Structure 1
Amino acid sequence: MNITKRMGLAIFVGMLPALIIYIGIAMIPVAMSFYYSFFNWNGLSHMSFIGLDNYISVLKDGIFWKGVTNNLFMMLSGILGQLPVGLFFAVILNRSLRGLKVYRSVLFLPVIISAVIVSLIWNMVYGTESGLLNNVLGLFGLGSWKQNWLGAPQWGMLSVSITYLWQNYGFYMVIFLAGLQNIPEEIREAAVMDGATGWKRFWLITLPMLKETIWVTLIFSISNSFRIFDLIYVMTAGGPAHNTEVMTIYMYTQAFNNSDFGLGSSVSILILLFSLIAIYAAKLITRRNG
């Protein structure tokens, strides 16, 4: 019993620094935002308690709901885009290939590039006059397909979501690759002996074995889609006419541009609430399908 207690104490002491850091950079700021959300405060003057007025104002604002819609679009593009692409490359890299380390490094490269640099690169791709995409279309005689990719209402969010996919698929590729390498080789050999090869082996053996890994990537994808800010802010700043605005940009505008920290804090709490609801909904769906 003493040994068990000592092991438990040792584990707690080992986790304590990380716990303190997590409380300091995550829990305390969330608690402060929740507190500020009930006040009218510009960051400098006296704080006045206004109850739920900030939440009511936000929920009545059509621009905020436009941001919610765009966040849901980013969430779906992440789940339906980043995860399948990451899994696809993970399956390819889980084989014996010449130059495998080089391929892994190249495919993971977008993850380690700053979001600001990624935004600037893709701004050059989507540029209206001298953008790479429009120039390529012109070279192939498809000049009529040229678009203002970031400015057109029907193309803005799609263009941003492609950039978002390119930046983050490598992160999920690494997670899936780790999951694939943890599948015992005996199971694969038994599947081959039973006649399960190719797509059939992947669908009936590999994918079910990755169930927990898929759940982890799903949580990451949902939470990241609600936290996205710098990529869109540098590319479009939420424009034109709030066409690409997400909740984080709306929060930034209210808090720092309009100097309404109470309203901005209420938006941050709503972002947290919506992300938790989305994760819980995903959990219910995966349980039902499982």
Structure 2
Amino acid sequence: MHTLKRVRLAIFLGILPSLVIYLGIAVLPIAISFYYSFLNWDGFSPAVFVGLDNFIEIVKDIVFWSAVKNNIIMMGASLIFQIPLGLLLALLLNRPLKGIKIFRTIGFFPVVISSVIVSLTWGMLYNTEYGFINGILSAVGLDAWQHNWLGDPNWAMVSLCITYIWQNCGFFMVIFLSALQGVSNEVIEAAEMDGATGLKRVLFVTLPMIRDTLWVTVIFSISNSFRVFDLIYVMTAGGPAHNTEVMTIYMYNNSFTSLRFGYGSAVSIFILAFSLIVIYVANKFTNKDN
């Protein structure tokens, strides 16, 4: 028993530095935001306690609910396109071919590029006057298809989703590659002997064996979609007319542009609540067969 206590103490001392850092950079800021969410404070004058007024104002604000809708659109785009594209790339690159590591690096490259660089690059591609996309459409005689991609309310969110998918599908590709390389070759060979080849093997052998990884990517996808900020802020700053504004940008504008730090803190609590609820529901679905 004495030895067991010493082992537990050693484990606790080992994780203590990481625990302190986590509490300092994650839990403490959430607690401070929760405290400020009940205040009216501009960062300079004395804070005034307003109770639930900030939360009531948020619920009544149409712009906030528009931001929620845009976050849901980003989440849907991620779930419907990012994960399948990442899985497809992983399946294509999970082969013992010469030079395959180069293609894997190219597939992962957008993930390691700064979001600001990605935003500026895609912003130039979408540019109305000299952008590559409109230039190609003009060159092939499709001038009628040209758009102000980031300025048109009907196309701005679609354009951002395309950029978001391109930037992050490589992240899921690497996760799926790791899972696929853990699938036993004996199982694959046995499936091929039983006639399960091509798409049939993927659907009935490969996917069931990496099911847990698939659900992990779903959770990652949901959480990332609620944290997206820099990509949209650089490309559109939430415009035109709030049509691409997500909750993080809504919080930023109210906190640092309007100097309503109490209100912005209340928004951050809403973002946390939405994220936890959606992830909880997703976890319920992922664990229903366990």
TM-score (norm 1): 0.96
- Report whether the alignment pairs 1:31 with 2:31: yes
Offset of 1:5 from its aligned partner?
Answer: 4.1
- Which residue is 1:54 aligned to? 54
1:65 CA displacement: 0.4
Residue matched to 2:221: 221
Residue 144 of structure 1 deviates from its aligned partner by: 0.5
**Residue aligned with 1:144, SS:** helix
| Equivalent AA in structure 1 for residue 239 of structure 2 | G
Deviation at residue 11 of structure 1 after TM alignment: 3.2
> Once structures 1 and 2 are overlaid, which stretch shifts more, 273-282 or 135-144?
273-282
Q: Which runs of 5+ in 2 are unaligned?
A: none
State the AA in 1 paired with 2:202: F
Q: Structure 1 residues 214, 136: CA separation in 2 closer, same or farther (over 3 Å shift)?
A: same
Offset from partner CA, 1:54-112 (integer Å, 9 cap, x none): 00001100000000000000000011111111111111111111111111111111001
1:143 partner letter: D
Which aligned pairs between 1:28-177 and structure 2 lie closer than 5 A? 28-177=28-177
Q: Deviations over 1:122-171 (max 9, x none)?
A: 00110001100000011111111000111111111010000001111111
Partner of 1:21: 21
Q: Which residue of 1 aligns with 2:207?
A: 207
Secondary structure at the residue paired with 1:56?
Answer: helix
Say if 1:259 and 1:172 are closer, same or farther in 2 by CA, change over 3 A.
same
1:10 maps to 10
Query: How many pairs were matched up?
Result: 290
**In structure 2, the residue corresponding to 1:195 is in which secondary structure?**
coil
Amino acid at match of 1:127: N
Matched position secondary structure for 1:259: coil
Q: Which residue of 2 aligns with 1:235?
A: 235
Which secondary structure does the structure 1 equivalent of 2:234 belong to? helix
Q: Which runs of 5+ in 1 are unaligned?
A: none
Change in CA separation of 1:80 and 1:7 when aligned onto 2, cut-off 3 Å: farther
Which whole-Å CA distance do the structure 2 matches of 1:212 and 1:14 have between them? 29
How far apart, CA to CA, are the structure 2 residues paired with 1:193 and 1:6? 54
Deviations 1:166-185 (A, max 9, x none): 11111111111111111122
Instruction: Identify the range of structure 1 (177-186 vs 253-262) with the bigger mean alpha-carbon deviation.
Output: 177-186
DSSP 3-state at the match of 1:237: coil
Name the counterpart of 2:268: 268
Given the superposition, is the C-alpha separation of residues 97 and 7 from structure 1 closer, same or farther in structure 2, using an over 3 Å criterion? farther
How far apart are residue 241 of structure 1 and its match?
0.4
The letter for the 2-side match of 1:138 is S
Equivalent residue number for residue 279 of structure 2:
279
Measured against aligned partners, the alpha-carbon deviations of 1:34-64 in whole angstroms (never above 9, x if no partner) come to 1100011111211111111000001100000
Q: Give the partner amino acid of 1:211.
A: R
CA distance in structure 2 between the partners assigned to 1:86 and 1:30 by the alignment:
32
What is the RMSD of the two structures over their aligned residues, measured on CA atoms? 1.4
* Distance across 1 between alignment mates of 2:7 and 2:221: 35
Q: What is the Cα deviation at residue 2 of structure 1?
A: 4.9
TM-score (norm 2): 0.96
Which residue pairs with 2:195 in the alignment? 195
Q: From the superposition, tell whether residues 90 and 6 of structure 1 become closer, same or farther in structure 2 (CA, over 3 Å).
A: farther
Amino acid at match of 2:238: G
Deviates more, 1:97-106 or 1:256-265: 97-106
Separation in 2 of the partners of 1:120 and 1:188?
A: 44
Moved more, 161-170 or 177-186: 177-186
Counterpart code for 1:250: Y
The residue aligned with 1:259 is 259
